[in-house]
């Protein structure tokens, strides 16, 4: 059975491009030329994933995102931003967007965003633990999946305590490909890393996507902790 995806964009060439790309991924594609039409299509079709441009006439992508989340908080919404529109991207993440991709859309970026959305859908269905703690090569590794929001605070705090109990010299916060975060989640990570610094703990981050690495740099988290592409790189660091 094909998975439904809704694409909302006021530029017809962009819609045509998405039809070609998404058909190759096996999606049943629904399109809308503006935000108002997109909301009507969403209520009618209830796709699991939505791609929406940010800047559109009639209703912009931020308002579309808000309305979709009111209808279905579990819908995975990927916003399409102009190159360098990081303020809008962060605003969208604060409203629980799954991810953002920049125009002109690159196939690799689109694939990564879709994979994150699909993994979050699968994670929600499986009821898998969103934050787990393991010992890997002498380090305590917190693996973070799904969406980190204000409700994640007690789970993140307990996971950090379990990591400390392992007594390892290094703690790695590993972001799974399904991981996403909003403004409240960014505040949680900032608080956690400040506390770790006060305790003299060696904490680092691995696995962040390029987009979320940019976000972490903008909000200042990258100044608190080293960020590596993988656990292997983090473990190999001095």
**pLDDT one-digit tens code per residue, 150-175:** 888 999 999 999 999 999 999 999 99
The per-residue pLDDT for range 76-110, each reduced to its tens digit, is 999 999 867 889 999 999 999 999 998 888 888 89
Where among 66, 93, 125 does a domain terminate? Answer: 125
Domain that holds residue 111: 3-125
Q: Do 138 and 118 reside in the same domain of the chain?
A: no
Structural domains of the chain, count: 2
Q: Do 187 and 157 reside in the same domain of the chain?
A: yes
Q: Do 83 and 112 reside in the same domain of the chain?
A: yes
Where among 125, 153, 183 does a domain terminate? Answer: 125
Q: What pLDDT is attached to residue 127?
A: 53
Q: Do 29 and 94 reside in the same domain of the chain?
A: yes
Helices (H), the chain: 12-24, 35-45, 61-71, 86-94, 107-126, 153-165, 183-199, 210-218, 231-236
Q: What pLDDT is attached to residue 238?
A: 83
For the chain, what is the mean pLDDT? 91
Q: Do 68 and 140 reside in the same domain of the chain?
A: no
Q: Percentage of residues in the chain with pLDDT exceeding 70?
A: 97
Q: Do 140 and 119 reside in the same domain of the chain?
A: no
Instruction: Find the farthest-apart pair of alpha carbons in the chain and give their distance in angstroms, rounded.
Output: 57
Q: What pLDDT is attached to residue 233?
A: 95
Per-residue confidence at 128, pLDDT binned at 50, 70, 90? low
Q: What pLDDT is attached to residue 1?
A: 47
Question: What's the whole-number mean pLDDT along residues 176-193?
Answer: 91
Q: Percentage of residues in the chain with pLDDT exceeding 90?
A: 70
């Amino acid at each position: 059975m094909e998975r439904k995806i809704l694409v909302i964009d006021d530029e017809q060439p962009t819609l045509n491009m998405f039809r070609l790309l998404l058909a190759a991924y096996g999606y049943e594609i629904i399109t809308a030329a503006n935000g108002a039409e997109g909301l009507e299509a969403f209520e009618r079709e209830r796709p699991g994933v939505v791609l929406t441009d940010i800047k559109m006439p009639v209703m912009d992508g931020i308002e579309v995102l808000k309305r979709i989340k009111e209808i279905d908080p579990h819908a995975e919404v990927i916003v399409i931003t102009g190159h360098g529109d990081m303020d809008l991207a962060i605003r969208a993440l604060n409203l629980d967007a799954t991810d953002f991709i920049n125009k002109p859309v690159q196939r690799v970026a689109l694939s990564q965003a879709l994979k994150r959305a699909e993994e979050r859908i699968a994670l929600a269905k499986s009821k898998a633990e969103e934050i787990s703690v393991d010992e890997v090569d002498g380090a305590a590794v917190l693996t973070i999946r799904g969406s980190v929001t204000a409700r994640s605070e007690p789970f993140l705090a307990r996971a950090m305590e379990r990591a400390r109990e392992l007594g390892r010299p290094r703690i790695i916060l590993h972001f799974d490909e399904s991981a996403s975060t909003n403004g409240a989640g960014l505040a949680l990570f900032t608080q956690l890393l400040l506390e770790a610094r006060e305790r003299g703990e060696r904490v680092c981050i691995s696995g962040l996507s390029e987009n979320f690495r940019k976000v972490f740099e903008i909000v200042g988290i990258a100044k608190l902790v080293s960020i590596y592409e993988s656990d292997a790189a983090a473990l190999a660091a001095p």
